[in-house]
Amino acid sequence: MTPSPFPIIRLRPKAQARAIRHGFPWVYDNELVTDRRSKALTPGTIAQLEDAERTPVALVAVNPKSRIIARVLERDCTARIDADWLRQRLTQALVLRDRLYDAPFYRLVHAEADGLPGVIIDRFGDTAVIQPNAAWAETLLGDLTDAVMAVTGVKNVLKNASGRARVLEGLDDQNAVLRGQAPSAPLPVPMNGATYMADLVGGQKTGLFFDQRPNHAFAAGLSRGARVLDVFSHVGGFSLAALAGGADQAMAVDGSQAALDLATEGAAQMGLGERFSTRKGDAFEALAQLAEEGAQFDVVICDPPAFAPSKKAVEAGLRAYERVARMAAALVADGGYLGLCSCSHAVDLARFRGASVRGIGRAGRQAQLIHTGFAGPDHPLHPQLAESGYLKALFFRLR
């Protein structure tokens, strides 16, 4: 057998090599033989993973500083992880998005599910924003950037270094312009008939959340002639979609004035600014104030940040989801609709649904669950990685 050109790391005897051979993409630090040599590997090093019997299993990216000590890149141990390999993976990702969408606004790469573990790439026309959330991607960022430009034809590539994942990988938080130039102003992004303004430099994450696209569309279908409340609105995700769907009025509530300003600009670009209003402040306080005012809406949608970003936070997160459901349900007119969302990967659908139903019940309301939504198909689910299916959306009809 020809010796591997890569460093060798080895699974412990009780580790499940079969799971990796069958597609599981991660190796945890307690599953690997960690000696002085493996601990000394530079974060981002490509290595050959072997089972306890020294049989090659996969090529992996190693980070001794991370709880996820190895991420599977390629099960063909004779492969080369180089610019050609990156272009092949990106081409496969682009083929799917080109089939799904008419316009180049989408998530181009969704990490492990697209075969590029820890890598997020969102596309905004001629600009791509990369989140290299794993050490190997940071190491190969120059090649990755060149490959993105070669495969997609974008002119500008930005690096977004925000987010908890990079902290866990021991990476920096410095954003950068990798190629071309950053947009000098927020970009208009068309989705579901609405226009969203994406700030790719100063906005949250990559500037816009593409994952809610199908749930925005479902909510828009409920909103014809309706009064709509969009809580935790960011740049107007549900409220602008509702206006595009024919809502009479839509109010966006968020703690960020910058996000609300972008939402207002989006409504103006749609020519529907007179139907749109905003309220800045803490979402829970805003819900309480609206209840005190006796406000009622035909459609209320709450899309909070992850209340349970880790397993340790699950119970507190479930209580927060229940509280949101209780407070929001009180604002829904009889026969109206309540949409509740969770982006916490640590809270599965069943537990989120249970917390939502308890909250609705505590508000003294009865409900029909009419729709369960997930992220759009540009956010594919890795079938063996529950974390990649993080987004849940529940729509209820209340009485």
**Catalytic site residues?**
343
CB 160 within 8 A of CB 129: yes
Q: Regarding beta strands 227-231 and 249-254, do their DSSP bridges make them parallel or antiparallel, or are they unpaired?
A: parallel
Return the ∠ at Cα 178 (arms to 66 and 195), rounded to 5°.
95
CB atoms within 10 A of CB 175: 15
Burial class (CB in 10 A: 0-12, 13-18, 19+), 330: buried
Helix 237-244, helix 257-269: angle, nearest 10: 10
Q: How many angstroms separate the CA atoms of 94 and 73, rounded?
A: 18
Q: CA torsion, points 116, 201, 251, 392, in degrees to nearest 10?
A: 10
With CA atoms as reference, report the closest residue to 324 among 338, 345, 343.
338
Q: How many angstroms separate the CA atoms of 133 and 173, rounded?
A: 10
Secondary structure element (H or E) that encloses residue 89, with its range:
helix 83-100
Residue by residue, DSSP assigns 187-256 as EEEEETTEEEEE-TTTSSTTSS--TTHHHHHHHHHH-TT-EEEEES-TTTHHHHHHHHTT-SEEEEEES-
In sign, the C-alpha dihedral spanning 243, 247, 249, 252 is: negative
Structure tokens at 150: 């070669």
Structure tokens at 282: 């803490």
- Mention every residue, 6+ apart, whose C-beta is less than 8 A from residue 390: 306, 343, 344, 345, 375
- The residue count for the chain: 399
